[in-house]
Every structure is written in C-alpha cells, then in structure tokens.
Amino acid sequence: MLNINATYSSLSVDDLVEKVMPSYDVDRVVKCEFWYRGFNDTYKITSQEENYILRVYKKDWRTEAQINFELDALNYLHNRGAKVSYPIKRRDGEFITALNAPEGTRYAVLMSFAKGDVLTYKDNSDAFLYGERVAELHALSEGFSSNHDRFKLDDTHLITEPLKAIEQFLDERPDDWNYINTLCIKSLENINKIPSDTVDYGFCHGDLHGWNAHKFSGDLIFFDFDCCGFGRRAYEVSVFRWSILLNKGRGNRDIWEQYLKGYNSIRTLSDDELELAADYMIIRDIWRMGLQIFGTFSSGKGSLGDHYIGERINFLRTIEKRWF
C-alpha cells in the first residue's frame, strides 16, 4: 500500500465537535454540519442555546498573523457597534485553534452566527440599505490599527499577483494574455492619475459584492472578512458595481444609483472616486480571475475550461464598451 500525502482534506465533523469545541465556553453542541466550501471551509455549529460558524482556513491560505489582523478588525468593529459576525474567545482567552490536518497545520476560528437571509435586490431599497451600511462600516472602522501584518489592497495584491497566475494559465493563449495585460496597464494608469488626497483610504472588507451580509429585522449583519485589508474605498465601492454588471437580473442602473444614495447618506464619495469605478471594476475581475485560477489546486484545473476564459474576456470587453 502506498503512502500518499494530502494537499487538501475535509475534516471530520465528529472530531471538530469532540476535539475543538470543548475549547470554547459553548453549551452542549447538538450538531456540526459541513456548511460551505470556498477558499476556507465553513461549518455550522448548533448548540442548545444558539448557532455559531466555525471557519477552518485552508493550509497556507492565510498566515496566523494575517488571521489575527482580521480578528483584530472584527473585534474593533464589534466593540464600536458595527453589526458584524465577530470571533468567539476560547476558554484560554485566545481566538485561534491550530489543527494538525493531513496536509499540515490549519487554523480554526469560531464566529458568531449572522442571522437572516441574503439580500435579493428585488426591491431597490435593498441596494440603498447595503450602500448605507457599507458606508457605516467604513466610518466605524476609522482609527483601527493592528500589530499584525496583513497584505494591503494595493497594486501588488489586486493586479501583480493575479496577473502572474493568469499569465501561466494562458501560456497557450497569447492574444488573450496580451489583451488582459494591456487592459490592466491602462486601468492602472488611469487610477494613478487621480491624486491620492482626493481618494479615501482606510480599512476595507474587500469583498462587498452585494452579499456577504444577511438581512435580519430590517438591518444587515456583515460576515466573511477573509479578503479585508487597508486600501482605497473607491475599490470597495466599485466591487458592488462590478457585481451588478456581472450578475444577470441585477444589472440595472437603479440598483447602483440607490446604492450610491445609501452610501452618500453616511459618507460622501468624491467625483474622482466615482471616476475610478470602471477601472476598479476591471481590476476586480482580474483579481477574481487570478483567485479562481489559484483555487484550482483544490477544485481541479478542469473546472476552468476554454469557456471560462472566453466569458471573462467578453465581460471585460463589456466594461470597456459601457464605460470607456
């Protein structure tokens, strides 16, 4: 029998209940369910009193310091009254549990459960509320700092690193690679023309595409801060506009205008920031493409066929056609 190592494993729910949950001051766990597989694994924990989310980070996806930065941000926001899914302390006062998985060390964090449901945007009031709460999140994050290192939402993270993955993936499609690379250069030049003092910079969730929030009792609770970091708020806002265009059935201008009204009711976006929206939409799609290519280590390279690249090229051309 051959001994084969693992690069990615699904952890036993029974072991998580038996070996991880006793570290927390949680009433008897009734059930642990493998809830969602993304770039991290999400488990829903049901106890006698309430529900929780146990996030298990993939090996080498985030360093312990990077996770601690995220937890610092969540605790800061929670303590300032922001409605976010926040980390739960272990009995020893720590937040992170190291797990010896088949592929190596993985980290687990227990989070409060975000009650409610995802927004549907069938009513434009959802977009107004989302924009309003995003601006409130930005306002409440002012003053946040952390002693833990974390990547910034800058050119390196959003453009340079994704392009490396894309270039390798398109080694047999030079025309597509040249188009994407040239488009990135153009967008970056446009972004760098805008004076930095006219663009708001600060803590960003990093993935506020219109979901990653549940609506409950007329308000929103944000979760999944795995992509958070310091960056330009213009990028954060543009992610929502990108999502409107990307998702069929949500692609009308009224949604974007209602989002802006909601955001501007709390914080005012400058003309320069709005001017950057289209360029950051392109950057967002490039970043996502690099992320999805990287993710094939667990989902399989075959999950991204020729149709995938064709769809991405067509989408980028749509942005160019509508906004340039």
The span from the CA of 42 to the CA of 34, in Å, is 6
Residue with tokens 């687990």: 108
DSSP-derived secondary structure for 88-110: PPBTTS--EEEEEETTEEEEEEE
- Helix 174-193 with 161-169: angle, nearest 10 deg: 160
What is the reported pLDDT for 320?
87
CA angle (167 as vertex; 186, 177 as ends), nearest 5: 50
Number of Cβ within 10 Å of residue 163's Cβ equals 19
What is the reported pLDDT for 324?
59
What is the reported pLDDT for 250?
55
Q: What is the pTM of this model?
A: 0.95
Instruction: Evaluate whether 86 touches 179 at the Cβ level (below 8 Å).
Output: no
The span from the CA of 293 to the CA of 146, in Å, is 30
What is the reported pLDDT for 163?
96
What is the reported pLDDT for 27?
86
Bridge pairing between strands 213-216 and 219-222: antiparallel
With a cut of 70, list the residues of the chain below it in pLDDT: 248-251, 297-298, 324
Structure-block tokens of residue 134: 């995003």
What is the reported pLDDT for 209?
96
